[in-house]
Amino acid sequence: MTTEKGSLVCVGTGLNLAGQISILSKSYIEYADVVFSLVPDGFAQHWLESLNQDVRSLQPYYAREGEVKSRRDTYEQMVAAILEQVRLGKKVVCALYGHPGVFACVSHFAIARARGEGYQAQMEPGISAEACLWADVGIDPGASGHQSFEASQFMFYKHTPDPTTHLLLWQIGIAGEHTLTEFHTSSDRLQVLVEQLNEWYPLEHEIVLYEAPNLPTQTPRIERIALKQLPFAQLSAITTLLIPPSRELEFNHEVLAKLGITAEELG
């Protein structure tokens, strides 16, 4: 096992530039020897560079225009770059957009590999798109519960949504894409998803397309459309699909009886 002082901390920058990062995560960035970044735009990158003199963007590892490259290869190269600096004995920080552990496999891979090699590695939470969604749309997920799936995984496997709760489908902009080489979906794939969802939700059921703002000057995208209109909607890499409940919660009378509670008592 190595005795070098190299370490890794993966932090989340939040969704909104500079305003949603924790004090602790910001401190890790400021005192790091090397900071790797994966953020959505140049504004966020420049802000990170104002905190530390050695900030290295991971964006160049993605496929260039016209190049076909699996995201698996991209992620492996990112992890290799991060671990190279850890092995050199550096205090390394990886700053990721939103929450560093939510739809961000690079952080999980890098931490697991670093720990496996005997280095100290940890993750600090950040404000996620889901946290922003509840605030912006004005929903308390505790009222009826919620379920959450990556859109393609929902399509590929036999998940069964509960139509009495809120359903979140992440990365709807690449729904049905399985090659890991494309960053967009198609109306045909989305139509397949609509037909799948129609088992639990009417075609006229109102759904919400949500995008959290990146800058303080922006406003969130909260677009309400009918489920049947999804194949024709404009989607981006950060679009999340929210499907509100289509049915009322149902009392579990058997359990209530065992507890000595009546439905009337619960209002």
- Catalytic entry in 75, 119, 201, 210: 75
**Is 97 assigned a catalytic role?**
yes
Q: How far is CA 52 from the centre of its chain?
A: 25
Measured in residues, the chain has a length of 267
* CA–CA gap between residue 132 and residue 267 (Å, rounded): 30
- Catalytic entry in 71, 87, 113, 221: 71
Instruction: Return the structure tokens found at 178.
Output: 């399985």
| Beta-carbon contacts of residue 81 (< 8 Å; ≥ 6 apart) | 36, 56, 58, 61
**Is 75 assigned a catalytic role?**
yes
- Catalytic entry in 28, 61, 97, 210: 97
Which residues are designated catalytic?
Answer: 71, 75, 97
